[in-house]
DNA sequence: AACTTATCGTGATAGTTATCACAATACCCA
DNA sequence: TGGGTATTGTGATAACTATCACGATAAGTT
């Protein structure tokens, strides 16, 4: 095991999250042991990359054999902090917010939606999910801090993103996942991640418009 | 202007997409000219990074002055291929698909949703957006190729992601944006991008569980 | 026209991440 | 029990990306 506190590449963390998925699927197929080669095949990552990623955190495999599917899954969950429940709140129950609230995957993977807020009076009280009623934005600080929400998801329009983030910080959340196309500012001790679906599509458009049939990039100089 | 065909960092492309956003907001505020410093301030990127990103594609600024807000916006759109319309189809009109279809941002930025498909007979014919009716999945190849769809968005369950991607390829799309948590395989000449919202949250969970109050990362060795 | 100021464009440099290659070693079987 | 095989864990290396520092230069000013 390497020592703690060396910098772990962000890309490694992203891959670990996908490994869990692939491992669970392989486990469903009856695979009790996986090699880095097989796992790599299944999640389209090179075997060496997988071993390197894991080696940042310890030794989880058996040389000559591979990794025990179930226990590796658990180990990775521990690494990512998914072995506990993260109380989460969502602000802005519009189209996207509604989709996220109904995304069962989250619940199955360590996140618990403890409250949802919106500023539209017409939406207050609506049940968006088993036992979860939309609350007025004015209740955010009170409710979120009472529920000890650790994560806040922002799905309000860009123009309200900053004020929403401010409320979440006031309520004591430690991390914010922002879907609005606006770069909000938060204090240093708050972890912020932006998800830009538009950028993903734009990236696709870029690749398509610059890909001439069969052209190969990578030309040096 | 540097020569074409050198490798552009993917991160650069992602940033260019966000620059457009910030530039449009600055333009709304009446800023006709922006310096890399001001733009950097607004989108939380270092001025040097912005200049470097742009320099991959040409010289767009005026030394001692800055960049003309409007024309830089247009230039970046050309770089990303957003100066034309991308006919796009979406498959799987569930919670997420519905949100994406109603996301006006896309329409305003060069993407035109030309068709939406689902396998649920109960959904066929429903109007999801001005003039856009859900079609049966059996019509995908016919409709998408007739409409010359270039991009396909996959929002079906993971178990159907591969077969959906196969249909899109058959229909002649050139790029696929996949939201399902399954690594689909496509031919070499198809551009594929995966969007993993779960990974984003997991990344947040990781950062939160490893951040001790006030600890500073970056310790060497 | 020379001088000043602001800010760009970019080569050089530092830092980060991925790939490679192989020593280490657990299991299997005779 | 010892030799063969498969597959890990990791140091070294290569590739990529960001940062820095400064020369270049356009516009305004005297
Ligand atoms: N729809 C998508 O597919 C999609 C994709 C990527 C990003 N986004 C971004 O996500 C955000 C939401 O998108 P959407 O399509 O769901 O929009 P939407 O208009 O459907 O939903 C926004 C919701 O936020 C609520 N709201 C507005 N101001 C608020 C405030 N100050 N406090 C609390 N609630 C408030 C509104 O009442 C509404 O219910 C936007 O910033 C959008 O750019 C959406
Ligand atoms: N909801 C979210 O916020 C969210 C977030 C991230 C990723 N995702 C992923 O996006 C996908 C869709 O999620 P969702 O929440 O919208 O699910 P959903 O069940 O609400 O929607 C899936 C839709 O796909 C349709 N469908 C199923 N099989 C199909 C097929 N073979 N061809 C065409 N249509 C088919 C279904 O009829 C349904 O309408 C899933 O893979 C999910 O993991 C969802």
The string of pLDDT tens digits covering residues A16-27 is 999 999 999 999
**pLDDT cut 90: percent of chain B above it:** 88
- DSSP characters over chain A: -PPTTSPPPHHHHHHHHHHHHHHHHHHHTT--EE-HHHHHHHHT--HHHHHHHHHTT---SBTTTBEEHHHHHHHHHHHHTTTS-EEEEEE--SHHHHHHHT-HHHHHTTEEEEEEEES-GGGTT-EEETTEEEEEGGGHHHHHHHTT--EEEE-S-HHHHHHHHHHHHHHT-SEEEE-SSS-----TTSEEEE--HHHHHHHHHHHHHH--TT-------
Does A1 contact B at CB distance below 8 Å?
Answer: no
Confidence band of B129 (pLDDT split at 50, 70, 90): confident
Distance CA B156, CA A2 (A): 40
CA torsion sign for B36, B38, B43, B47 is: positive
Computed on alpha carbons and rounded to an integer, the radius of gyration of chain B in Å comes to 21
Distance B16 CA to C11 C1' (A): 23
**pLDDT cut 70: percent of chain B above it:** 93
Minimal CA–CA distance to B5: which of A211, A68, A133? A211
Please write the tens of the pLDDT for every residue from B58-109: 999 999 999 999 999 999 999 999 999 999 999 999 999 999 999 999 988 9
Task: Find tokens 């230039």 and name the residue.
Answer: B75
3-class SS at B219?
coil
Please write the tens of the pLDDT for every residue from B10-63: 999 999 999 999 999 999 999 999 999 999 999 999 999 999 999 999 999 999
Please write the tens of the pLDDT for every residue from A178-196: 999 999 999 999 999 999 9
Beta carbons of A183 and B10 less than 8 Å apart: no
* Ligand index nearest the alpha carbon of residue A161: 1
A181 lines ligand 1 (CB under 6 A): yes
The answer to whether B99 and A96 have CB atoms below 8 angstroms apart is yes
- Out of B21, B95, B204, the one facing A191 most closely (by C-beta) is B204
Confidence band of A2 (pLDDT split at 50, 70, 90): very low
CA distance B199 to chain A (A): 5
Chain B positions in Cβ-Cβ contact with residue A105 (cut-off 8 Å): 181, 198
CA torsion sign for A50, A54, A59, A60 is: negative
Distance CA A73, CA B198 (A): 16
HSE, side-chain direction, 13 A CA sphere, residue A92: 24
* Strand nucleotide closest to residue B58 (CA to C1'): C9
Distance CA B96, CA B137 (A): 17
Does A10 contact B at CB distance below 8 Å?
Answer: yes
* Nucleic strand D near CB of residue A36 (< 7 Å): yes
pLDDT at B111 over 70: yes
Beta strands B67-68 and B33-34: pairing type?
Answer: antiparallel
Confidence band of A199 (pLDDT split at 50, 70, 90): very high
For position A213, what pLDDT does the model report? 41
Does B181 contact A at CB distance below 8 Å?
Answer: yes
For position A75, what pLDDT does the model report? 97
* Ligand index nearest the alpha carbon of residue B118: 2
B10-80 architecture in CATH? Orthogonal Bundle (1.10)
For position B212, what pLDDT does the model report? 54
Q: Tally C-beta pairs within 8 A across A and B.
A: 187
What are the beta bridge partners of residue A89?
Answer: A115, A152
Distance CA A14, CA B38 (A): 31
Residue spans of the domains in chain B: they are 10-80, 86-200
- Cβ within 8 Å of residue A104, ≥6 positions away: none
Report CA(B93)–ligand 2 centroid distance (Å): 7
Average pLDDT score over residue span B147-176: 98
Q: What angle do CA B69, B75, B76 make, to 5 degrees?
A: 90
pLDDT at A218 over 80: no
CATH topology for B86-200 is Rossmann fold (3.40.50)
Minimal CA–CA distance to A200: which of B23, B190, B191? B191
Task: Find tokens 């609506």 and name the residue.
Answer: A126
Computed on alpha carbons and rounded to an integer, the radius of gyration of chain A in Å comes to 21
Pocket test for ligand 1, best of A89, A93, A94 (most atoms within 8 A of CB): A94
Distance CA B138, CA B154 (A): 15
Confidence band of B210 (pLDDT split at 50, 70, 90): confident
A197 lines ligand 1 (CB under 6 A): yes
Distance CA A84, CA A81 (A): 7
pLDDT at A36 over 50: yes
pLDDT at A58 over 90: yes
Distance A208 CA to D26 C1' (A): 36
Beta strands B151-154 and B175-178: pairing type?
Answer: parallel
* Nucleic strand C near CB of residue A35 (< 7 Å): no
Closest residue of chain A to B221, computed from CA coordinates? A6
Summary mean pLDDT of chain B: 92
């Amino acid at each position: 095991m390497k020592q703690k506190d060396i910098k772990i590449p962000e890309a490694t963390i992203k891959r670990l999250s996908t490994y869990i998925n692939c491992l669970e699927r392989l486990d469903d197929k009856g695979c009790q042991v996986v090699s880095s080669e097989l796992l790599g095949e299944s999640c389209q990552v090179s075997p060496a990359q997988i071993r390197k990623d894991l080696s940042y955190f310890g030794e989880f495999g058996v040389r000559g054999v591979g990794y025990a599917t179930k226990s590796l899954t658990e180990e990775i969950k521990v690494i990512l902090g998914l072995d506990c429940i993260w109380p989460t709140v969502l602000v802005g129950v519009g189209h996207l917010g509604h989709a996220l609230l109904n995304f069962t995957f989250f619940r199955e993977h360590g996140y618990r939606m403890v409250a949802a807020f919106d500023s539209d009076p017409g939406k207050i009280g609506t049940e968006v999910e088993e036992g979860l009623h939309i609350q007025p934005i004015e209740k955010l600080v009170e409710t979120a801090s009472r529920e000890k929400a650790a994560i806040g998801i922002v799905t309000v329009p860009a123009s309200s993103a900053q004020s929403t983030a401010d409320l979440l910080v006031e309520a004591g959340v430690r991390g914010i996942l922002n879907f609005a196309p606006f770069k909000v500012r938060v204090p240093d001790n708050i972890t912020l991640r932006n998800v830009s679906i538009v950028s993903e599509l734009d990236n696709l458009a870029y690749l398509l418009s610059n890909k001439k049939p069969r052209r190969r990039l990578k030309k040096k100089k």
